[in-house]
Amino acid sequence: MTSPARTHRDVFGADPAGVWSAPGRVNLIGEHTDYNGGLALPIALPQRTAAACSARGDDLLRIHSVQAGETVEVALGDVGPGSPHGWTAYAAGVLWALRADGCEVRGMDVTVDSAVPVGAGLSSSAALECAVGAAASDLFGLGLLADDAARARLARACVRAENEVAGAATGGMDQSAALLCRTGSALLLDCRDGATEHVPFDLAAAGHVLLVTDTRASHALNDGQYEKRRRACEQAAAELGVATLREVPPGALDEALARLSTDELRQRTRHVVTEIARVEAAVAALRDGDLAEVGRLFRASHASLRDDYEVSCAELDVAVEAAEGAGALGARMTGGGFGGSSIALVPEDAADDAAVAVRAAFAARGWAEPQCFPVTAGPPAARDI
């Protein structure tokens, strides 16, 4: 990244009051469970989105994006469901949601620069929201970074911004990860009650690497497919007479499936119920140091997402198969799907071979070269300067 503070000075003619940043995230396991009241297990990435910010005395948001190469002005009074459009909705929506939550915020001058790949399924949108939200908290004295309870409140505002202003019907896992994760740990997030637990995640000590592959098959969560699956889960829960699919225990799955009206609802329900169980099993395996079991769970998760939830794509499937063929203990797509990234649990001495194998598999099909990189569990959103 460039220096967002220097860019801010060039664009707005004054130094920022500070620089805040928030991470992208990789979800180890627990996909499409968050809006079903389930469990997820994300880590914060080392890659972050930085926001150099200053408070204004009026209600104007001026925001410059290094990646977009443009500066946009938005009056906070004009922000609401569906407005503004595009990337600015994620930043403007946070200020709108904070106001709706009773927080006194004004306009801001914001310069955004990001190392989180856009469209890679690594939650660049939540990183933007949480960086701007962290800045607003400090600039306006909101105290929303003070502890985990305050950070959870900020996460909820960021979720509302994404759902209502940006129009992406996501759950809360991405924002919770960006604000609550810790270095060297995965975040066990219970999306039914918001409870969190930190699970040690230090693959290097065990001689392994988590390899991310950005397939460059771009995805978007506001194109209707994500929401279609969310609505199917809500319909399935309604037919079963439960608040969310989290209420269906694995032992009662077959009986529940028999009561559903369509094959589509049965497929979606089977994925959600078995995926929640896989999160629990993965946490137990990590605590026991059983990485072979974690790899097996990765493989089962990907098959479920591919076949029952139908959110994978050719690029993700090839990345997973190539990594496993080169020695990965297991691999799976991560994020919302329909493109984006995969992750692979790889012995350290096989990581380069796995990356080479994935790139070769893409080249053989004439696809654009994917980006492969190892990641570790990083810290949450914070003030940098």
222: pLDDT strictly greater than 90: no
Confidence band, pLDDT 50/70/90 cuts, at residue 219: low
Q: What is the pLDDT of residues 326-372, one digit of tens each?
A: 999 999 999 989 999 999 999 999 999 999 999 999 999 999 999 99
Of 9-13, 121-125, 128-132, 167-171, the least confident: 167-171
Q: Backbone phi, then psi, for 54, in 5-degree steps? A: -140, 145
174 labelled catalytic: yes
So what's the pLDDT on residue 92?
Answer: 98
More confident position, 227 or 333: 333
118: pLDDT strictly greater than 90: no
Of 24-33, 222-231, 341-350, the least confident: 222-231
287: pLDDT strictly greater than 70: yes
70-88 average pLDDT score: 97
pTM of the model: 0.94
Choosing from 34, 113, 174, 214, the catalytic residue is: 174
Question: Which domains does the chain possess?
Answer: 4-201 (3.30.230.10), 204-375 (3.30.70.890)
Q: What is the pLDDT of residues 131-167, one digit of tens each?
A: 999 999 999 999 999 999 999 999 999 999 999 999 9
